[in-house]
Structure 1
């Protein structure tokens, strides 16, 4: 799902690591997470969110299920366990995600040149407060 969503966007920067490392990377993030949820339909995964300390580390939705409320439902679960606020980082060029988070009440708090992330892609920190 992570790889499919990134590939579908086409503008995403190349992965900083080999595709086969994504599974172990996400497994490690899950092990360290405070919360994680998978949205499914009849047992088929549609999207997932990983939350750690009020920070959304990953929120991905299968490309064919985007713009159907899956991301909003996952975000609602994250809000329910972190009512004091949420934060996340998003690539500046990820206009669809930035628009989604803006509709969900997030504001842009900080923008960087990307020197602090593995992809070296300019990014923006988004925050939501109840």
Structure 2
């Protein structure tokens, strides 16, 4: 559905029912396959996708009620997983990047979480420069690098006072 001016209809965010599982898993796999190779490398991406971990992560959170769909023109174009005070996962289908949808989905997460938590958080890979730039442009504050195995990650936070 497009507007009378031929533009896409405004996006909406809704909770994800179980019927969306396959579409959300496919969106996550497409996003990881397309966008993560540049900073994680082919071997790591192929291993991760082949392990089924991405599909299992989406399924677990969908079953627990923490998954949301970003829908535009009747199609799922993004997903978010909110877990307590954490934006656990946020992805926009690669063919819909650079259209303001990430900002729309992130604002939804903030509007959902900040009334319940004074500070909300998310993590991203330090080498994912596109995500780092995006979160900083959206006013999220960079914290210290996170310790752990695997690729380096950094935490970002947003507080009610930061609006």
TM-score, structure 1 normalization: 0.84
Cα distance in 1 for residues equivalent to 2:83 and 2:96: 25
C-alpha deviation, 1:105, in angstroms: 0.8
Taking the TM superposition and a 5 Å limit, the aligned residue runs for 1:61-76 are 61-76=92-107
Aligned residues between the structures: 125
User: Is 1:104 aligned to residue 138 of structure 2?
Assistant: yes
> Contact 2:61 / 2:67 at 8 angstroms: preserved in 1?
no
Taking the TM superposition and a 5 Å limit, the aligned residue runs for 1:30-109 are 30-33=62-65, 35-83=66-114, 84-109=118-143
> Contact 1:32 / 1:52 at 8 angstroms: preserved in 2?
no
* Higher share of residues assigned helix: 2
Cα distance in 2 for residues equivalent to 1:122 and 1:82: 26
Cα distance in 2 for residues equivalent to 1:92 and 1:80: 25
Gaps of 5+ in 1: none
Structure 1 pair 46/18, CA: closer, same or farther in 2 (3 Å)? closer
> Contact 1:113 / 1:121 at 8 angstroms: preserved in 2?
no
Gaps of 5+ in 2: 1-26
User: Is 1:5 aligned to residue 26 of structure 2?
Assistant: no
